[in-house]
Structure 1
Amino acid sequence: MRIESIYRYPVKGLTAEALEEVALTPGETLPDDRRFALAQGDSAFDPAAPHWLPKRNFGCLMANARLALVHSAYDSRTGDLALRFPDEPLFVASTRSEEGRAAIAARLAAFMGDEARGAPRFVEAPGHSFSDVAKKVVSIIGLTSLHALEQAAGAALDPLRFRANVYVSGGMPWAEFDWIGQEIQLGQARLRVVKRIVRCPATEVNPATAERDAEPPRWLRTHFGHADLGVYAEVLEAGRIAAGDALEVLG
């Protein structure tokens, strides 16, 4: 099997950013993956004492499909976040200043309209990841499994609906489910696969149009008896991964 594409998602619920290669660190996510989030006004998230909370505490595609229309780009060197809203000029603000974070929160909240609860905050906490799971992991999807779902449902599905970090080709459909508890060599890094990824209504959202025009969770249950696609893996040994690198199951 080989890596076809790699993505990070600096802001939870916003744009996927493609990477040609990236260095993985033991016990960590991809650098800057889910580093930021828009905490709803009624969220209990405290940047001074961060702990994992369910996704509904934050702006997310499961509840806020409209966010798919916002195109974002994060500059890791400067800390600037660029946001392009439909029919509006490019908006850029710093994630490193209180003023910049407040401006980002205000623009996103205004765009969300009634879906913004209270006074949302644009938040980060050093070392914290706004992942859908509490453990710091890398998400991997086998494209043959996705193609099996497409064939069964009779529908084409943009892989970015599933917001994985790594997409791999080759192998048999659903083979990645057999890796649970096993180690894999991914490029120069070694990881342990820890669990399957249960799919939620976020995957119903078309990343290009923000329309809910597909039902992957229901299609998975109907045709395969589960709602899972992809796996989570924790990094055990540091190393770089790049498009074209091999994935090998170590056992």
Structure 2
Amino acid sequence: MHLSSLYRFPLKSGAGDALQHCASDALGLVGDRRWMVVAAATGRFLTQRVAPRMALLQARWQGERTLRLTAPRMPELLVPVPDARAMRCVQIWSSNAVVPDAGEVAATWLSDFLGQACRLVHLPLDDGIQVDLDFARLGERTAFSDGFPFLLIGQASLDDLVRRVGRPLDMLRFRPNLVVSGAQPYAEDSWKRIRIGELTFRVVKPCSRCVIPTLDPFTAEREPDREPLNTLLSYRKGQGGVFFGQNLIAEGIGELAVGAPVEVLD
């Protein structure tokens, strides 16, 4: 088995960035989901669930201190990592955080593109959100993810789903960080600890899926037949939702690279 794809999502619910290698830090992949769009009035996070056009937002790191934003029919915008002079209280699911606001220019740019008043915020490495203690240790943190620092999907699992649905589906619909090839479909369901290259991970929780996979990541259009969610509901439904992929927590920090060997430890 080997790591066949590596994805980073600098902006939560923005487009993904395929990488050949990336370091990890205390919050996950370096630069992953460190930016988030929130409603201006409430500070609540926005995602493709309620703002499908976010799929068309391309957010790419330019060095370590600048984010480059592009979107259809919008001018390119360079956003520097903000300092702590303007802080904003934000909400992501049941968690709250006070984080730096990226300023008026970025807010206006995003509000114009998304058609609603919003703000852009950044999460410094020294902050981070505590992972649910039902699955993590005290002090294990994540960025603006939906709960965990890493998401893994087996390539064979997607291949099996594609066969069941009967048409191609891009892996980016499911927004994983790590894609593993060389295993049987859904083999990741039984893993407890794995090693990718020199980095060890605990496999802590199946990933429950929402409506985002029914959105084409390249057009931001919903599938009228609600696929692949309807097919997943037919055979991947369990207590608490429908599951595809596994959430991981790294034991330490290190480097990840496409092609790295994957070993099941437990």
Short-chain TM bin: 0.7 to 0.9
Contact 1:201/1:215 (8 A) holds in 2 = no
RMSD between superposed Cα atoms in Å: 1.9
For the pair 1:120 / 2:107, whether they are aligned, the reply is no
User: Between Structure 1 and Structure 2, which shows a larger proportion of helix residues?
Assistant: 1
Q: Please report the TM-score for the alignment, with normalisation by the length of structure 2.
A: 0.80
Equivalent residue of 2:29, what SS?
Answer: coil
- Distance (whole Å) between structure 1 residues aligned to residue 202 and residue 170 of structure 2: 27
Contact 1:95/1:101 (8 A) holds in 2 = no
Equivalent residue number for residue 9 of structure 1: 9
1:125 CA displacement: 3.1
Equivalent residue number for residue 111 of structure 2: 109
Q: 1:239 to 1:95 in 2, by over 3 A?
A: closer
- The code of the aligned residue for 1:105 comes to A
Q: Please report the TM-score for the alignment, with normalisation by the length of structure 1.
A: 0.84
1:60 CA displacement: 0.8
Once the two structures are superposed, residues 204-251 of structure 1 have per-residue CA deviations (whole angstroms, 9 ceiling, x without a partner) of 111111111252222101144452111011111333221001111101
Contact 2:102/2:120 (8 A) holds in 1 = no
For the pair 1:96 / 2:98, whether they are aligned, the reply is no
Equivalent residue number for residue 51 of structure 1: none
Q: 1:224 to 1:125 in 2, by over 3 A?
A: closer
For the pair 1:137 / 2:149, whether they are aligned, the reply is yes
Equivalent residue number for residue 250 of structure 1: 265
Once the two structures are superposed, residues 94-131 of structure 1 have per-residue CA deviations (whole angstroms, 9 ceiling, x without a partner) of 23266953211211111111xx3xx4221123232111
1:164 CA displacement: 0.6
- Distance (whole Å) between structure 1 residues aligned to residue 108 and residue 81 of structure 2: 13
- The code of the aligned residue for 1:199 comes to R
Contact 2:106/2:120 (8 A) holds in 1 = yes
Equivalent residue number for residue 172 of structure 1: 184
- Distance (whole Å) between structure 2 residues aligned to residue 222 and residue 243 of structure 1: 32
For the pair 1:204 / 2:214, whether they are aligned, the reply is yes
Higher RCO (CA < 8 A, seq sep 6+): 1
> Matched residues, percent identical?
33
- Distance (whole Å) between structure 2 residues aligned to residue 40 and residue 100 of structure 1: 14
1:145 CA displacement: 0.5
Equivalent residue of 1:237, what SS?
Answer: coil
- Distance (whole Å) between structure 2 residues aligned to residue 81 and residue 235 of structure 1: 25
Once the two structures are superposed, residues 120-170 of structure 1 have per-residue CA deviations (whole angstroms, 9 ceiling, x without a partner) of 22112323211101xx42111101001111111112111011111011111
Q: Which consecutive unaligned segments of at least 5 residues does structure 2 have?
A: 87-100, 129-142
Range with greater deviation from structure 2 (209-218 or 3-12): 209-218
- The code of the aligned residue for 1:160 comes to L
For the pair 1:154 / 2:171, whether they are aligned, the reply is no
- Distance (whole Å) between structure 2 residues aligned to residue 240 and residue 89 of structure 1: 34
Equivalent residue of 1:72, what SS?
Answer: strand
- Distance (whole Å) between structure 2 residues aligned to residue 225 and residue 81 of structure 1: 38
State which of 46, 49, 52 in structure 2 corresponds to 1:65: 52
1:19 CA displacement: 1.9
